[in-house]
Amino acid sequence: MLFLAAVPLTRAQALSGEAINHLPLSKLVFPSVVTSIEPTVVRIDGHDALCYELYIVNMDSTPVELSRVEVLTGTQDLLDQSGAPLVAALKHSTKTPPAAGTEGVIGPAEQVVFYAWVDLPHGSKPPTEIRHALTLRSQDGTDTLRIVTQPIEVKPATQVIQSPLRGSNWLAGNGPGNTSGHRRGIIPLDGAARVPQRFAIDWVQVDKNGKTFSGDEKKNESYICYGQKVHAVANGVVTEVKDGIPQNVPGMDSRAVPITLETVAGNHIILDIGNGVYAFYAHLQPGSLRVKVGDRVKAGQVLALLGNSGNSTEPHLHFHLIDRNSPLGGEGLPFAYPSYSLLGKGSLDGDAAKMDWLTSKRAVHGEIPAENEIVQFGDEDK
């Protein structure tokens, strides 16, 4: 965990050293600002970006309002959010949603999460470190405090892996994006809150109209991606295998087994691909797994067949990288593919599916697909 020590500034005048010591306590706000990971540069949608979270706790006994968040490098603002964009990037720890107009108010001892998504300037070199500036107001609005954190390191390297799938018309459901369900999923396990699915993708195949199946939608065999081969994304060692969970009947409320931490991923495989990075494959067909714990695998090797087990509404492959040998007990890590073809972008919503196909496929190198992008792995025609 990285603690970001706050340096107070008020009335737009920087205060440091002895000046801080002589500032009246009534003018100070005491937030704790923590990020659980070092931001890593990820290449997406033709540019570099940073994706991480700030956990902000009001350590004072009175409410304060967070009115602005800035991400800084040197004298440059990489991100400056206030108003509606700031509200959209915040999540309160309380179960009751805040009333309209009070979304930025942080109660005593309350925590809010700021979901940072920073699109870096095109053509510029990514920063090596960043700071955060938080502007907070007292509840009555009479006092304003701007705090600037200590710098944190930005990691330049994204893990490059092969695709876990082959073929065309793969849609990156719930893929990387700041409003994706995977992105917003904080899971507290083993005493720590983490975002294991920060860059996760639910891979499904679609036809030209955005349909994922043809025929009886209640049969797994009707789905285009059902039974597709799932491949090792890198050389590695199998560290976890779960098999024998029966498949679901496709549908929003149909689960073959009660969903627990043991069954949520369905039949699944975890690979240790080195340097503290693990590849996680979920919702596989029962009986199709071709590896066991301890097996050494080669990149491209077939591991199993795509299915519909665990917490799944229809056949798909859930895939992500994570920093621990656990489906959900670690931090999700970014990755990139050496190459793929971009075919378009879609939005899956039953009969209301919206598809935006490119007139010709576009070659992409060294990127991760963004949410709902449709891609082709390999050279076959669309």
Summary mean pLDDT of the chain:
89
As a CATH number, domain 2-153 is: 2.60.40.1470
- The amino acid at residue 121 is P
Query: In this model, does residue 227 exceed pLDDT 90?
Result: yes
Question: Mean of the pLDDT values across residues 110-125?
Answer: 92
User: How far is Cα 308 from Cα 229, in angstroms, rounded to an integer?
Assistant: 14
| pLDDT score of 24 | 61
159-377, what's its fold? Glucose Permease (Domain IIA) (2.70.70)
- The pLDDT of residue 13 is 34
Bridging pattern class, strands 159-160 and 335-347: parallel
Q: Domain spans of the chain?
A: 2-153, 159-377
The segment with the largest mean pLDDT, out of 16-25, 61-70, 315-324, is 315-324
Average pLDDT over residues 276-292: 98
Provide the 3-class DSSP secondary structure of residue 264: coil
pLDDT in tens, 128-169: 999 999 998 876 666 778 888 889 999 988 899 999 999 999
% residues pLDDT > 90 (the chain): 71
Residue 300 has pLDDT above 90, yes or no: yes
1-56 pLDDT, tens digit each: 333 334 333 333 333 334 445 556 555 556 788 888 899 999 999 999 999 999 99
Alpha-carbon gap, residue 11 to 137, rounded angstroms: 11
Residue 299's pLDDT is 98
pLDDT at 286: 98
**Average pLDDT, stretch 89-99?**
84
- Predicted confidence at residue 235, as pLDDT, reads 98
Q: Taking residues 65-70, report their average pLDDT.
A: 94
Share of the chain above pLDDT 70, in %: 89
